[in-house]
Every structure is written in C-alpha cells, then in structure tokens.
Amino acid sequence: MHHSIIPHGGKPAVERCTTCCRKFHCPLCPGDMFKPTHPSRLQRHLEVHIKNAIAFEDKKICRCNLNCRNGGHYHCPICDKTIIKRTDMEAHLKSPLIKQTSTSAAAHSKQIYSETKEEETAVLSVALALSPAASSQSSAAEVTTAANMFMAKAFIKGLINVVSDIDPSQFRPSDPPPPRRPLNFAETHESDEEQKFRRVFKQLAGDDMEVSPKELMDILNKIVSKHGGLKTDGFSIESCRSMVAVMDSDSTGKLGFHEFKYLWNNIKRWQGIYMSHDADGSGVICDQELPKAFKAAGFPLNDQLFKLIIRRYSDEHGNMDFDNFVGCLVRLDAMCRAFKTLDKDNSGTIDLDIKEWLQLTMYS
C-alpha cells in the first residue's frame, strides 16, 4: 500500500500524503488520488470497489476503479493476473489451476477482504479516518475524531452528494426575526401596524405572550379551514413542533412575538405562491408544478434534492398539500438561514464538529 495509508485499530487510516500535494490515496488502488477538500469523492470511489466485488471462497475480490491509473480491472489473488471483465475473472477463478493452488497468498493482497462481519463492515461503510494532519504522525485522538466525523457523513450517505452542486447564493431565505426586546421598547418604537399585530398576537398567545406547538396547531388549522381552495389534512402537532423548533431562536420551546410574526408573514407569502402555482385548481400542487413554486419561494432545487423532497413531503402520486408545503418551506428556510449564519466568509462551505452537527439537526 501507499506510504500515506497507515494501520489504525486494524483498519486502514488514510492520511493526507505529504509528497503528493496532501491528497488522499485510495487504499485499494493507491495510484488514484483525491483532493483533501473532497473526501466524499473517495467514499464514492470506494463504493465502486465494493459494488463490483467478486465472492471467492471466504474472500471478496475488489475491482480497481475505472479512474485508477491501470484502468478498471481485477487482480487474481493466486497468479496476480490482471483481468478486465468480471465474467472473465469469475471464469478464471473457476479454472482447475486456480482451484488446486493454495489461497494463502490472498491474505495480503490489497484487493482482498475477508468476509467477516467486522472487515466487511469496515469496507462497506468506508470506515477510514480521514485525518487533517499533515503527516502520518498524527495522534490517535486526531484520527478517532476524524473517523467520527467521517462516519457522520456516512450516516447521511448520499445526501451530501445530492446537494453538492447547489450554489448557496441562489437560495433566498427571509431576513431573520429581530431579537426579543423589552415591552416598553416595543410600545415606543413599533409602528401602528406592528402594535396592531401585537394586540392580535396577545389574543392568540395569552398572557405569557408565547405560542406553544399546540396553540400554533389550533391557530393554523382555524385559518386554513376558512380557505376552501387549500387542500390540507390539517397541521399535525408533530409538524407544528417541527415549525416551533426551527423558528425557536432562544430555545424556549415556544414562539415569541417576533418569531411568530416572521413565521406568519412567511406562511401568508407561501400561501399566495401555493395558490398561484396550483394551475389546475385542484387544491394541491403536483410534482410538475412544484419546482416553479419552490423557486418562487426563493429555493431553486436541483433534480436530486427535489426527488428527496417529493418522497418526504408529497403523497404517493407526487401531490403536495398546503400543510406539507408550508412544513417543507419552514425547514428549508431555517436550514438556509442557519447555513448562511455559519458561512461567515461566504465561501459556500461550513465546518462543523459532531456536537455542532447534532445541535443543528436534532432540535428541528
């Protein structure tokens, strides 16, 4: 194997190579290199190896990737013959000469993995520690931390690939709500319209001046019931919990005045978009109408992300009703605002550790 691939816990730990512009090397075909900013490409590269593996006794023979310097091929673990076609390799392994030869030589082949649960899992989940260290002398703690981050990426699997070609600058989330201010400040600085909305809000929220998920559900369902042109099953308590979570800037579990006003104004705007893009007047937006509706709301989606949203928020026919449309846009808006807040240098990328990732994703 390449010198940048070191053992760690019985599995290969891939370091950035100090002699190759700090790139990553594939542990199965070290001739192939990947930029340090694109570890996900190494993951996809390794998945090709696994997908094309050939079962051989208690082993698995992996094929070199098509991008490898030698082209796509298999190595015979017995005679080290290079064979391109899978069918030819399978026939070669069944030949009498190969069957009569001991397979002990296969143990050290770079393309052979024992079919044990531990080793197969290590390959299938691409359990490689992509350490940010400059050399192979990085500490075990650094390698472990890098491995944890890589496994978090493996957990969300293709989601990174789905959104990787999206330009964050194309997304236009609404301006975030202002921070909470003392009531006496509001009374002297708010416009007549804002003060009128505050009086309505107090009637809806009660004396605590905060809206709980249950109160939000009652408010929204009362409003949409008055609009016969909006097809909806009603806002569920779970969807309202999710809305409160992504809008709850101070983590109180409820929406204050400005948070509720922000959500309310967005829902009114999205309602207009929803009705204008319901071309056939069915009360729902079909999958052909949805891309333009999301774009009008400020969120142009690529095909892959659009398909994920359809699976998550639409029915079996690809139709999205109003409550799911709002629930999806609330989450999109909140996630884009969070991204833009964390992207302090406007580079289009953010760097999160596992704690920050969980804090961002679990309460939403």
Give the model confidence (pLDDT) of 221-252 as tens digits.
888 887 777 778 888 898 898 888 888 877 78
Q: In the chain, what is the straight-line distance between the N-terminal and C-terminal CA atoms, in Å?
A: 44
Find how far residue 351's CA is from the centre of its chain: 14
Amino acid, res. 116: T
In this prediction, residue 6 carries a pLDDT of 41
Cβ atoms of 63 and 73 within 8 Å: the answer is yes
C-alpha 164/C-alpha 162 separation (Å) is 6
Identify the residue whose tokens are 């290079």: 82
* Residue 6, token pair as written in the block: 């070191």
Identify the residue whose tokens are 């890098």: 146
At 129, the pLDDT band (50, 70, 90 cuts) reads very low
At 171, the pLDDT band (50, 70, 90 cuts) reads low
The better pLDDT of the pair 173, 30 is held by 173
Alpha carbon separation from 254 to 48, 326, 337, 338, 359 (Å, rounded)? 47, 18, 19, 19, 18
Query: Residues 170-181: what's their mean pLDDT?
Result: 58
In this prediction, residue 9 carries a pLDDT of 42
> Does the pLDDT value for residue 48 go beyond 80?
no
| Alpha helices, DSSP H, located in 33-139 | 39-51, 86-93, 96-99, 117-124
Cβ-based neighbour number of residue 244 at 10 Å: 26
Amino acid, res. 338: A
Amino acid, res. 312: R
In this prediction, residue 40 carries a pLDDT of 63
Alpha carbon separation from 163 to 166, 208, 308, 309, 362 (Å, rounded)? 5, 41, 11, 12, 20
Query: Residues 309-322: what's their mean pLDDT?
Result: 89
Query: Residues 250-276: what's their mean pLDDT?
Result: 88
Q: Where are the domains of the chain?
A: 5-157, 168-362
Number of residues that make up the chain: 364
Give the model confidence (pLDDT) of 65-92 as tens digits.
544 545 557 777 676 677 777 788 888 8
pTM score: 0.50
C-alpha 246/C-alpha 252 separation (Å) is 12
In this prediction, residue 43 carries a pLDDT of 66
Query: Residues 129-143: what's their mean pLDDT?
Result: 38
Question: For 282, which DSSP code?
Answer: S
Query: Residues 101-107: what's their mean pLDDT?
Result: 44
At 294, the pLDDT band (50, 70, 90 cuts) reads very high
Nearest to 340 by CA among 162, 178, 172: 172
C-alpha 211/C-alpha 247 separation (Å) is 11
Q: Which CATH architecture has domain 168-362?
A: Orthogonal Bundle (1.10)
C-alpha 155/C-alpha 288 separation (Å) is 31
At 213, the pLDDT band (50, 70, 90 cuts) reads very high
Pairing of strands 59-61, 112-114: antiparallel
Highest mean pLDDT among 165-179, 265-279, 346-360: 265-279
In this prediction, residue 115 carries a pLDDT of 40
In this prediction, residue 274 carries a pLDDT of 92
